[in-house]
Chains A and B, each alone.
Chain A
Amino acid sequence: MRAAAAAVTDVAVRSKDPSLTAALASATCVLLGTTTSAPVDAREEPTWDVSTSLLYYGEDGDRVRDLSFKSLSRRLYSDDRVLTLGLTIDSLTGATPNGAIRQDGVQTFTRPSGADAYTVTTGALPLDDTFKDTRLSLSANWQQPAGEKGLVNVGASASKEYDYLHTGLNAKYAHDFNQRNTTVSAGIAYAYDTIDPVGGAPLPLTPMLDVGDVSNRLGDKHKDILDVIVGVSQVVNRNLVVQANYSFSRQDGYLNNPYKVLSRVDGVTGETLPRAPGPNGGPSGQFLFENRPDQRTLHGIYTQAKLNLGGRVLDASYRYMTDDWEIDSHTLDMRLRWPVGPSSYLEPHVRFYTQTEAEFYRVSLDDSQSLPSFASSDYRLGNFDAVTAGLKFGWKTRNDNAMAVRVEWYTQSGTIPAAQIIGNQAARDNYPDLDALIVQVSYRFGL
């Protein structure tokens, strides 16, 4: 290096040529490890890593549709410090099951606002088509080393829908052991959410009333959620890394879905008890708003393995969750990233999910029995299996950014406990099965 510097100086001394002076400056910079072309340097070492995606989620039968834009921007500083900013904008439309059962006859319901009524045709699954919402979600996280082997991550999140506000804080600490082959982590998150239902939160287990009658509606409601996660990840060998987490979640407050009702039915025939709608319209049957316990505690075990199989990477995970609503779930998820050529890959994905029903899940309310303290016919609290199958194709663009397209199908199929089926209900399809198409296009670039 000393010889090179001497040679450059020698050339400069012997010449007054400006181009040589520039060459000298440039060479000096190279020798000093600096550069005069800062923009090129910035491109070579991006400080922002931005992932963006457009998502389409659409359920069959004119049910929920979501068009969503998401971005996750990571500002990379030296010394492993990272700022991550997340943004999601969801545009939701479509119809959703209101919780009532099918009937051999037209059914009418009052909309959540109480200002109007809607009609469901004979034998059809009662869907509330009022549903339309825009959701904005923001998150910010800061990660930095703590000592030589520790990593701290703190963050905040907020999301707003027309009828819902979520605010949350989270913190996580990870510590490396055993030459960074073992990482033990612990995290805590707290959320405080406010729900302000359209038309007001209904008094639990009171009837859906006529259009214009909002006498059983209350104001907004709150819930808070505490999550704790502890985990360990372990490098097993050059091609295998595994992880195991235990998670605890405690939800307190208003856990009802304010838009869901249950049909009150005859104890012998299973038919919905009729009701005479008021002059401005209203429910054609007896429908009661649901009620759930105001507390829920969940425990979960999550295990994951990433295995390199000669360039193909298998990502397999299993999760078990159980809670005091007596919902147990098992989830098995597998992806295989399969390189196709030097800069693209295919990734098939399958996911199997199964859950048992909540102890207070009821498809309808038997009029011959006393009213239970808690009851919900929300299909998400029922006994169902779900399968996701999909394929992703990813490739590097000419400017070395990453593109990916994935298409997936998600299907839910549920069963009602036989003891809950009354009379004529046996001849009807009482569980609102679900089929959805998921298409996501993502683009990742550096700045």
Chain B
Amino acid sequence: MKRRSMLLAVILALCAGCSSMGVDPWDRDVLAREEMALIADPLEAATDDHIYFSKEATSGGRGFAGGGCGCN
């Protein structure tokens, strides 16, 4: 119960922190650029996800882990 309260307090503190961050809508010029998107190149990201899914034991995290055999 105490741990849960602590966790809640941390989440609330983070949310309070978030509300003071950010920019006004007219200051989004840099953020609106394509290369500032969290996934700037979806095709390349999908390619990498599939390569590492096939060759490593863990995958996903950024998005869903993806499908396929990965038996080779």
Contacts and interface: CB of A to CB of B under 8 A. Distances in A.
B62 A302 contact: yes
B4 to A, nearest CB: 17
A181 B21 contact: yes
Contacts of A71: 43
A420 interface: no
Interface in B34-61: 35-38, 40-44, 46-47, 50-52, 55-58, 60-61
B43 A72 contact: yes
Interface in A252-295: 257-259
A407 interface: no
Contacts of B58: 298, 300, 321, 323, 327, 329, 355
B30 interface: yes
Nearest to A168: B67
Interface in A58-107: 64, 68, 70-72, 86, 88, 92, 94, 96
Main SS at interface, chain B = loop
B17 to A, nearest CB: 9
A166 B50 CA distance: 14
B13 interface: no
Given A166-B69, A317-B62, A434-B55, 13 more contacts: A51-B42, A51-B43, A64-B72, A71-B43, A92-B72, A135-B69, A166-B67, A227-B64, A238-B27, A245-B61, A306-B37, A386-B55, A436-B55
Interface of A: 51-53, 55, 57, 64, 68, 70-72, 86, 88, 92, 94, 96, 131, 133, 135, 137, 157, 159, 161, 163-164, 166, 168, 170, 177-182, 187, 189, 191, 193, 195, 225, 227, 229, 232-239, 241, 243, 245, 247, 249, 257-259, 298, 300-302, 304, 306, 308, 313, 315, 317, 319, 321, 323, 325, 327, 329, 331, 337, 353, 355, 358, 380-381, 386, 404, 406, 410, 412, 434, 436, 438, 440, 442
13 contacts: A53-B47, A131-B72, A157-B67, A179-B22, A182-B21, A193-B67, A227-B64, A238-B28, A306-B38, A308-B36, A321-B58, A325-B57, A337-B40
Nearest 8 CB-CB pairings of A with B: A181-B22, A166-B67, A302-B61, A164-B69, A321-B58, A189-B64, A329-B58, A51-B43
